A and B are shown apart, each in its own frame.
Chain A
Amino acid sequence: MISLFIPGRGPLHRCPASVKVLGLAVLSLALALAPVSLVTIGAAAAVTAIAIALAALRPGIVLRDLLRTLPFVVFIGGTLWLLQDGLAAGTAAARILAIFTLASVLSRTTRVSDMMAAWPFRLSERLALALSLIMTMIPALLTIGAQVRDAQRSRGLRPSLRRWIMPFLVLSLRHADDVDDALLARAPTAATGRSRNR
């Protein structure tokens, strides 16, 4: 559920990152601790709707982000329905949807650097860099996956997970080496914290 910042002028874009991070933490905790009930389902739905409205993003972006959470929601909700009852399943699904939406809205309306400068991340520059690298790695891995598929298609091979996984892993590991080199390639600063091979 890690998304990328989209520029905008909505209320959440103007809100300080520290307030948004704190808001996400408090609301997530409150939703997680709330009892199984129709009131919790209603509150979670309200939180989801308000977060989407305040983000003021294009509906397509919000819909795409919500659809990504659907497999988790269906899996958790379905399992609880089978093991417990409909109310427990509905409450869990609503909680997950609301928390995912809050996280998505936060990352869509806040630059990673602003988020990392906000309390409590400000404590560690290295932690900030590590989290930023994770954010960058996800689209990079998706691109590598697509490149492997395209390379196979260009040779007339049919898509196959077995044929795809090995080159994907090799290229992903090579990408990790590239990232290490990219840190070394910058002039040395406290942010990259890497020393050269001399």
Chain B
Amino acid sequence: MPDLLEVKNIVLDYGAVRALDDVSIGVGEDEIVAVLGANGAGKTSLLRAVSGLHRPTSGTILFKNQPLTDIPAFELAGRGVAYVPEGRRVFGTLSVKENLMLGMYGVRRARQARQLAAQEERVYSLFPILKERRNQLAGTLSGGEQQMLAIGRALVSSPELLLLDEPSLGLAPIIVNEIFAMIQKIHREEKVAILIVEQNARKALKIASRGYILELGKVVLEGSASDLSTNPKVRAAYLGSAAGSDAP
């Protein structure tokens, strides 16, 4: 049973609109879990609920068996949950270095000072291009580099769970491949559990061990990634006609 993150029966409303309706998912310590679904199915809402940006109307979210629902959003980063938002959202007029430094902001001060340099180096070794650009303003980076920086910014806090929201959005195929390879590498080498929300269902299922399908705010299907990618319904609804012929 997945034990790192347990989302139990959460309901989330925006005004009169119900975004999540009795959703339960789990992420184990050694897993990449993908959440798939159409636009407006509630994928991003789910991540926002986990990260505390929106309070669920009901239900519980446990992280390492501790409830997250009452913790302010800004404390989450210090507790081991890091979020890479959709559309990257790097701090454009701050330098790459400052962006990475801010990634450690939620971590306890003493630890922060000790580890800042080491963490920075760790990110640079994963993404060497960022080292070259470390004094450049983040807004001047290309889309792919910004995505790397956004992931790097999340990694410096040494999270145990990484939430990735549409990491491939608006990126060139070659960069998308690179980013997905990097996600796998991070998962393997840094021992970080990953919850990924992706429009690109094919790519997401390829790196994930398990997956959930959301439709209109409800989980309609869950299973191992291989089961999902062979499930005829999933193929028809999310993988399109190209699913059979794997070459895109």
Tell whether A and B belong to one assembly.
Answer: no
